[in-house]
């Protein structure tokens, strides 16, 4: 099953030797070793938070490993540093386009060093390069002078890929490069990748759609909880086997049992509800239900929650237990019993320089008049109780939140919302970047809450999560609600089917 490492005469493109990486409170990579050959497409699979993106960043040289090293062409990191910088192109998960620049400039950024003039910009050449590569990727209906911020997510992603290709890399790293592409666009990309592979390029590929691994990759390396699990070559690859390797246990004990906690009472009803990308959505959520919004990035699911919580302006009607409402800011929503857990924990969730207790007590405090003294003793008791019941693992209540692992940080943010005893809990990507154990605990907690009559709405990009926890799934596509799936008709295929506009 593992690849035989006999061919010592032909050096590998990349040899990864005992790489470890630590972040405060977590081991992100634990002694990973693998080899990657020229002229292959090598997949790295693992759940969110298993360390695959970190591994890719280390390979690209963006981050340094704490232990171990990456050999490029049998050269050590020190010797190959300059070379690697020139030869590697990476498409990152986070959009890294310069929003205020045109399409053409964004694509030719990577190319600038090879332009004939050191000082002057050759606009004509920029345009040429840009249109060449976009055409290759099947994009023809795009104005090269248009600013990229005005483009749809799929176009932006293709521009990112075009930029990587334009730099003529020998090693191409794709981290979730297909996440917002349609089926057709993905197929075109794959045929380009096959061509590049035939030219001898080494391509490393990460995706959240498992069938893309089986379709495209020659080898797949599986990571689980920061550890190397196994390599699969093309013949051994089946989606099921990849999943069991990734998860390492049956999915059943991962998600709490779905009990009928929902009632028939309508808790939240949207009528012709619009905000930013969301267009005229009408549906209702029942009391005590876990309603999951699924769909591709940019489909409007996170905007819908933000609109509901009053973060962004909305149009249309919103009824909460039959009462017409409109929230102009989060504060008003909170006064009506809503709580919101943002998707970007670091930039929207935690106050990095503050203790876990203060982080957890933020919302509770904000309900008090601002001139009041802080109720230190009461807060301490309250937090200790929550720390215990939610199993937040931290040395003390005064520990700075930034030193905790993602899972524990997320629990603190959850505690902040729960301190208000909300009637409605809105969560975005509730388990992004946290380890398996913490995930299961959070799922359990959410189910417990619904038993107490709390209505939960979740927006997630992870299909297994959506299916595992939801009572109903609302699938969104380009701002409209495409389909509501009930429990007996949920499957990843079905969700993807509706999420891509069918």
Partner 1 sequence: MENVVVKNQLQQKENNQVKKNLLKLVGIGPLLILLCAIMSLLNPAFLTFSNWINLLNSISAIWIMAMAMTLVLISGGFDLSVGASLAFSGLVLVKLVYVGVPELLAIAITLLVVLIIGMMTNGFFIGKLGLNFFVVTLGTMSLFRGTVYVWTDGQTQYADTLPIVSFLGNGSIGTIPVSIIIMFVIFLITHLFLKYTQFGRGIYVVGGNSTAAKLSGIKVPLILIGVYGMSALYASIAGIIETGKLASVSPTIGSGLELLVAAAVLLGGTSFKGGEGTVIGTTLGVLFIGVLQNGLSLSGISSYWQEVITGGILIFAILLNYFKAKQT
Pick the closer one to partner 1 by CB: 161 or 419. Answer: 419
- What residues between 345 and 364 interact with partner 1 by CB under 8 A? 347-354, 358, 362-363
Q: Taking the CA atoms of 252, 227, 47 and 137 in sequence, report the sign of the dihedral they define.
A: negative
Q: Which of 372, 395, 488, 493 binds partner 1 (CB under 8 A)?
A: 372
Q: Is 22 in the site for partner 1 (CB under 8 A)?
A: yes
Pick the closer one to partner 1 by CB: 31 or 284. Answer: 31
Q: Is 369 in the site for partner 1 (CB under 8 A)?
A: yes
Distance CA 221, CA 242 (A): 9
Smallest gap from residue 346 Cβ to partner 1 (A): 9
E strand or H helix that includes residue 414: helix 406-418
Do 489 and 474 contact (CB within 8 A), yes or no?
Answer: no
Pick the closer one to partner 1 by CB: 260 or 374. Answer: 374
Query: Under DSSP, is residue 487 helix (H, G, I), strand (E, B) or coil?
Result: helix
Smallest gap from residue 224 Cβ to partner 1 (A): 14
Neighbours of 228 (CB within 10 A): 20
Distance CA 162, CA 146 (A): 16
Strand partners, 323: 320
Say how many residues make up the chain.
Answer: 502
Per CB under 8 A, the segment of 27-35, 104-112, 282-290, 466-474 that binds partner 1 is: 27-35
Q: Is 31 in the site for partner 1 (CB under 8 A)?
A: yes
Smallest gap from residue 15 Cβ to partner 1 (A): 19
Q: Which of 117, 373, 388, 493 binds partner 1 (CB under 8 A)?
A: 373
Nearest to 148 by CA among 135, 134, 138, 137: 134
Q: Which of 327, 340, 383, 443 binds partner 1 (CB under 8 A)?
A: 340
Q: Is 27 in the site for partner 1 (CB under 8 A)?
A: yes
Smallest gap from residue 28 Cβ to partner 1 (A): 11
Dump the DSSP string for 130-191: HHHHHHHTT--S--TTSBGGGS-HHHHHHHHHHHHHHT--SEEEEESTTTT--HHHHHHHHH
Distance CA 44, CA 52 (A): 7
Pick the closer one to partner 1 by CB: 119 or 370. Answer: 370
Q: Is 382 in the site for partner 1 (CB under 8 A)?
A: no
Strand partners, 196: none
Cα distances from 222 to residues 21, 166, 203, 244, in angstroms, run: 17, 30, 16, 10
Smallest gap from residue 310 Cβ to partner 1 (A): 10
Dump the DSSP string for 298-345: TSSHHHHHHHHTTSS--EEEEEETTEEE--SSHHHHHHTTEEEE-S-I
- What residues between 404 and 443 interact with partner 1 by CB under 8 A? 416
- What residues between 60 and 119 interact with partner 1 by CB under 8 A? 66-67
Q: Is 254 in the site for partner 1 (CB under 8 A)?
A: no
**Residue 272 φ/ψ, nearest 5 degrees:** 50, 45
Smallest gap from residue 24 Cβ to partner 1 (A): 9
Per CB under 8 A, the segment of 41-49, 239-247, 339-347, 441-449 that binds partner 1 is: 339-347
Per CB under 8 A, the segment of 24-32, 51-59, 237-245, 474-482 that binds partner 1 is: 24-32
Q: Is 276 in the site for partner 1 (CB under 8 A)?
A: no
Smallest gap from residue 400 Cβ to partner 1 (A): 10
User: Total residues at the site for partner 1 (CB under 8 A)?
Assistant: 38
Ramachandran category for residue 272: left, alpha or beta (phi over 0 → left; psi -120 to 50 → alpha): left
Q: Is 225 in the site for partner 1 (CB under 8 A)?
A: no
Residue with tokens 């943010």: 413
- What residues between 277 and 336 interact with partner 1 by CB under 8 A? 309, 311, 329-331, 334
Cα distances from 195 to residues 199, 202, 237, 365, 445, in angstroms, run: 6, 11, 22, 59, 48
Both tokens of residue 240? 């099921």
Smallest gap from residue 371 Cβ to partner 1 (A): 6
Which residues sit at the interface with partner 1, rule CB under 8 A?
Answer: 20, 22, 27, 30-31, 66-67, 309, 311, 329-331, 334, 340, 342, 347-354, 358, 362-363, 365-374, 376, 416
């Amino acid at each position: 099953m593992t690849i035989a490492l006999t061919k010592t005469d032909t050096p590998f493109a990349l040899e990864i030797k005992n790489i470890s990486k630590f972040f405060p409170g977590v081991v992100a990579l634990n002694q990973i070793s693998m080899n990657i050959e020229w002229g292959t497409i090598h997949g790295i699979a693992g759940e969110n938070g298993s360390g695959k993106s970190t591994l890719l960043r280390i390979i690209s040289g963006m981050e340094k490993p704490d232990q171990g090293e990456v050999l490029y062409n049998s050269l050590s990191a020190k010797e190959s540093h300059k070379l690697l910088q020139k030869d590697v192109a990476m498409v990152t998960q986070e959009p890294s386009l310069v929003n205020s620049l045109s399409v053409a400039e964004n694509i030719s950024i990577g190319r600038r060093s090879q332009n004939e003039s050191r000082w002057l910009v050759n606009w004509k050449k920029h345009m040429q390069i840009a249109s060449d590569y976009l055409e290759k990727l099947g994009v023809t209906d795009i104005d090269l002078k248009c600013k990229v911020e005005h483009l749809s997510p799929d176009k932006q992603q293709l521009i990112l890929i075009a930029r990587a290709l334009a730099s003529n890399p020998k090693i191409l790293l794709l981290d979730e490069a297909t996440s917002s592409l349609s089926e057709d666009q993905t197929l075109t990309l794959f045929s380009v990748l096959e061509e590049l592979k035939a030219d001898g390029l080494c391509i490393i590929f990460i995706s959240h759609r498992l069938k893309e691994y089986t379709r495209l990759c020659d080898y797949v390396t599986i990571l689980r909880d920061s550890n190397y699990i196994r390599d699969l070559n093309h013949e051994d690859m089946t989606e099921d086997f990849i999943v069991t390797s990734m998860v390492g246990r049956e999915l059943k004990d991962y998600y709490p049992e779905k009990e009928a906690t929902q009632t028939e009472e309508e808790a939240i009803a949207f009528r012709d509800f619009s905000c930013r990308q969301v267009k005229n959505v009408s549906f209702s959520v029942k009391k005590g239900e876990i309603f999951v919004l699924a769909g591709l990035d940019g489909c409007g699911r996170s905007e819908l929650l933000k609109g509901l919580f009053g973060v962004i302006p909305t149009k249309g009607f919103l009824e909460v237990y039959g009462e017409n409402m409109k929230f102009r800011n989060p504060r008003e929503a909170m006064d009506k019993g809503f709580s919101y857990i943002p998707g970007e924990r670091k930039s929207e969730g935690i106050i990095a320089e503050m203790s876990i207790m203060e982080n957890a007590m933020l919302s509770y405090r904000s309900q008090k008049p601002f001139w009041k003294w802080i109720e230190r003793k009461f807060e301490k008791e309250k937090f200790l109780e929550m720390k215990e019941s939610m199993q937040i693992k931290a040395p003390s209540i005064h520990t700075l939140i930034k030193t905790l692992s993602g899972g524990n940080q997320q629990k603190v943010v959850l505690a902040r919302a729960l301190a208000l005893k909300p009637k409605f809990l809105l969560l975005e990507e509730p388990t992004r970047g946290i380890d398996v154990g913490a995930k299961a605990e959070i799922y359990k907690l959410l189910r417990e809450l619904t038993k107490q009559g709390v209505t939960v709405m979740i927006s997630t990009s992870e299909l297994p999560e959506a299916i595992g926890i939801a009572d109903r799934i609302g699938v969104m596509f380009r701002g409209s609600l495409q389909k509501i799936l009930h429990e007996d008709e949920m499957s990843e295929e079905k969700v993807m089917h509706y999420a891509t506009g069918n």
